[in-house]
Each structure stands twice: as structure tokens, then as C-alpha cells.
Amino acid sequence: MGNTAIIGLQWGDEGKGKIVDFLADKFDAVVRFQGGHNAGHTIKVGDKTYKLSLLPSGIIRGKFSVIGSGVVVDPIALFSEIKKIEEAGIKIESEKLAIAENACLILSVHRELDQLLESKKGEKKIGTTGRGIGPAYEDRAGRRAVRICDLMDDKILTERLENLLFYHNLLRKSLGAEIVTIQQIIAELEPVRARLLTHAKPAFEIAKKLNSFANVMFEGAQGALLDVTYGTYPFVTSSNTMAGQIALGSCLGVADLHKTIGILKAYTTRVGSGPFPTELECEIGNFLRIEGKEVGTVTGRDRRCGWFDAVLVRQSIQLSSVKEVALTKLDVLDKLEKIKICVGYKIGDKTFDYLPQANHLWDQIEPIYEEMEGWQESSFGAKTLAELPQKARNYVKRIEDLCSIKASIISTGPKREETIIL
Ligand code: IMP
């Protein structure tokens, strides 16, 4: 396979967990390179279901797993996730899980600030996962974050926390929240500090180890449309979610990425606020939500649902140099009589083949749709293209043509074996 990135091409929740797990056997190592425990990956192996937020999915298959320098790490959440996975019978030793020592920490003050700011914004809120991701990345850019390596020395840790809490306490006072002391944060970290350090490795050492393997998988979290630079800003997450981020967040460099596979859901969903041109606030949207079990893994929120939007997907493919895609959840559309695909936008008297970044235009977008016949037969669990109803094949082909891309995998159910390889 060579070193391959797997990234979502919509607003996250495209079913990356299954595809990453499905392909994991072909890789020697799996690396997370951005985001934090805002991600939610559900993996079904036999009759067991694993829910991961921060751990790379490869951990379930015993692969060498890395939490790279571009990730923000909530150590308490990490060890509670590790505990659950270990209770399910998978041991996570320090030789199996390496965490870049320069990764920045998410602390309770980040989570609290995330939630406080969201609660003050009312209608204008982003709809974050409330896990402190945004404030942690802000502190990283503001040069006041605490990194994992800062936990190695009491004096440095105290200095870093002084700096961080000076800023947070100023904000907290203005928001009417209680002041936080250095001792409080140190007490929070104490139960996990020693074990976290057993996993901490210099990025250089991690790079050497990863370079000793022929096939490394870079596991994306969220989706391309949530990218802080190219996504639907400001309704985005705070990290770069596109493949380019691998060069800065995985411990490996730009030439070490050989191919990017994009994950596409056969329709569109998003959680949180922000533009969604093909959203269906009607019976069909409800049908997709129920049929697709569209409830957030992390937050338990209902996902907003809509038709497949080729405009947005083409953009994501272009901006991340995606060369092939895996199409997921095709079976969710099985019962529909008619299916629409958005092929362009009309704004006023102009047509657009991309989503303009200018926020004032978003309310005026009228999607231009093509309508296709639904197949109204089961595609669930199909393992070969021949097992797919002809009209379902037509739908896949139309998506390929509109997005100028080939599907190399079609997923027809949550289990590993419910997959078509092309
Ligand atoms: P944050 O990443 O918690 O700051 O949330 C920012 C936006 O990204 C919100 O709309 C979240 O719902 C969305 N988001 C964050 N992580 C995920 C994910 O893993 N899947 C889908 N949406 C996500």
C-alpha cells in the first residue's frame, strides 16, 4: 500500500473507523496527526464494538500506534479510553502506543472555557463537542500550552502552568468563573502523569521507527469540510483536517505520504452549526437519520442529514490530492424511491461549482439537483459489485463521474465483511 492517508471528505462521521480497521491488516503502523478526543470512531469486530476517540484505530489490531505532534491530548480522557479498551481484553503497552512528547495537553481549563464560551454565544454557537479542542489549539498558537514533555520536570511544569493560568484566570474572571490554581491542575494530572510519560517519545525517534516500516497509515479525524483553513469557517474544528497536515502533525514529512484515500458517505451529514446547502429538514432527512443511525459517537447529538453534495466533495478531493475514495453507507438509501445529487449551486443569477468562503452568500445558495431512480432493493451486506442492484451501481458511477474519482471500496454494512473491493 505504501504510506497512505485516510481522511473524511465531508463534515466527519463518514465511516472512517470501519475503513481504517478494514485496511489495518495491510499496514504496520497507524498514526493520528490532528484533532483530539472530539473524534469518534466506531469499530465492529465480530460481535464486539469498540468506540475510540483519541487512540489510533490500529490499536485494536495490535499495530504500532502513534499519537502525533499535531494532536491535542487530554490525558484524563486518554487513560479512561485506554482503561475501557484494556477491560475489553486489549493490552496497551508503551511499546505499542507512542505519543509525541511535544504534543500539547488539553486540561480541565480548556474544556471549561470551551463550554463557557459556547454557552454565552446562544444562537451563534459553533456547536463544538465541548471537549476543549479549540482553547487547547489557541493556547498552542499563543505559546502558553503545556506539552507532554513539560510533565518531566516540576519546575518547568510550574512555570508553564503559571503562564497558562495567568491567561485563563483573566478570561475566567471576566466570564464569572472561579479562579483555578496551579496546585489544582497538578493534582488533576498526578494520577496519569507517570504513565503518560512512559508513552512519550521524541518526534525524531517516532519518525525513525515509522520509517522502518513499509506501510504506515495516517488516520484522519473529523472531515475536510471542518478544516480550520479550508472548511466552512468559522463553523469548523480548530485543526487542519486535510492531508497536508500529515507533514506537520504525524512526525513524518511531506515526502513520506504516498497516497490519500478519501472516505465519502453516500449522502451528507453534519453535527453542530454551519452551512449545509443540501440539508433535508423534512421526512427524508428524518428517514436518513433513523436508517443511517445518525447520532454522534462523541456527543450523542442527532446529526443533520441531506443529499450527497458533489460540489463540496470535489473541493475536498482537489484540496487534499485524493486519488481514490471509499464510499460508505450506500445501503442506507435502499428504500428511497428517488435520490438527488447536488451538482452545482445557484446564488442570485450566478452558478458556482464550489462553496464560496464569503459567509454572506451562504443563505442564498440554491442547490442544483440531478434526480436519480432509487433501487428499492436491499444492497445491505453486498460483497461484490454484481450483488448490487443495477440502479445502485448507476448511483455510484454518477458520483464517480461528478467527482472525477474512482471508488476502490464500497461499504454496505457496519461489519468488516460487508464490503466490496473494486
Ligand atoms: P470542536 O472540534 O469540538 O471544536 O467542534 C467544532 C465543530 O466540529 C463542531 O461543529 C463539531 O460538531 C465538529 N466536530 C468535531 N469533531 C467531530 C467529529 O469527529 N465528527 C463530526 N463533527 C465533529
pLDDT digits (tens, 9 = 90+) for 60-111: 989 999 999 999 999 999 999 999 999 999 999 999 999 999 999 999 999 9
241 and 34 in contact (C-beta within 8 Å)? yes
pLDDT exceeds cutoff 90 at 42: no
The ranges of the chain annotated as CATH 1.10.300.10 are 104-196
Higher pLDDT pick, 48 / 366: 366
- Asked if 15 and 265 count as a contact pair (C-beta separation under 8 A), the reply is yes
How far, in Å, from the CA of 126 to the mean position of ligand 1?
9
| Angstrom distance (rounded) from CA 362 to CA 360 | 6
Quick one: pLDDT at residue 179? 98
Closest C-alpha among 300, 333, 290, 323 to residue 400: 323
Mean pLDDT of the chain: 95
Bridge-based pairing state of the strands 64-67 and 259-265 = unpaired
Specify whether the backbone of 209 is left (phi greater than 0), alpha (psi in -120 to 50) or beta. alpha
Question: Is pLDDT above 90 for 151?
Answer: yes
Ligand 1 proximal residues by C-beta, below 6 Å: 11-13, 38-40, 126-129, 131, 133-134, 221-222, 226, 237-238, 271-272
CB-count exposure of residue 342 (10 Å: 0-12, 13-18, 19+): buried
List, for residues 313-348, the tens digit of each pLDDT value.
Answer: 999 999 999 999 999 999 999 999 999 999 999 999
Pick the CATH number of 4-99+200-260 from 3.40.50.720, 3.30.70.1450, 3.40.440.10, 1.10.4190.10: 3.40.440.10
Between the CA of 130 and the centroid of ligand 1 the distance, in Å, is 9
The residue ranking higher by pLDDT, 41 or 139, is 139
Atom of ligand 1 nearest to the CA of 221: 19
| C-alpha 32 – ligand 1 centre gap (Å) | 16
d(Cα 422, Cα 408) in Å, to the nearest integer?
Answer: 5
Is the domain 104-196 a CATH 1.10.300.10 member? yes
Cα 61 to chain centroid, rounded: 20
Active site residues: 13, 41
Which atom from ligand 1 is nearest to the alpha carbon of 134?
Answer: 4
Query: Using CA atoms, how far apart are residues 75 and 97, in angstroms rounded to an integer?
Result: 14
Average pLDDT over residues 246-257: 96
CB 411 within 8 A of CB 368: no
User: How remote is the CA of residue 132 from the centroid of ligand 1, in Å?
Assistant: 11
End-to-end CA, the chain = 15
Paired residues of 31 in beta bridges? 66, 218
Condensed to tens digits (0 to 9), the pLDDT of residues 178-213 reads 999 999 999 999 999 999 999 999 999 999 999 999
Locate CATH 3.90.170.10 in the chain: 264-421
pLDDT, residue 98, reads 98
Name the residue of 271, 304, 305 to mutate for ligand 1: max ligand atoms within 8 A of Cβ: 271
- For residue 211, report the distance from its CA to the centre of ligand 1, in Å: 31
Q: What's the confidence (pLDDT) of residue 145?
A: 98
Please name which of 55, 61, 58, 39 lies closest in space to residue 199, comparing C-alpha atoms. Answer: 55
Predicted confidence band at 297 (pLDDT cuts at 50, 70, 90)? confident
Q: In whole angstroms, give the CA distance from residue 77 to residue 87.
A: 15
Taking the C-alpha atoms of residue 192 and residue 51, their distance in angstroms, rounded to an integer, is 21
Ligand 1, residue 133: give the atom nearest the CA: 4
- From 7, 11, 38, 117, give the residue whose CB has the most ligand 1 atoms within 8 Å, as the site to mutate: 38
pLDDT beyond 80 at 298: no
Q: Please name the fold of domain 264-421.
A: Adenylosuccinate Synthetase; Chain A, domain 3 (3.90.170)
- In the chain, ranges of CATH 3.40.440.10 domains: 4-99+200-260
Q: Which of 128, 230, 273, 301 to mutate to test the pocket of ligand 1 (most atoms within 8 A of CB)?
A: 128
Q: What is the pLDDT of residue 18?
A: 87
Q: Among residues of the chain, what percentage have pLDDT more than 90?
A: 90
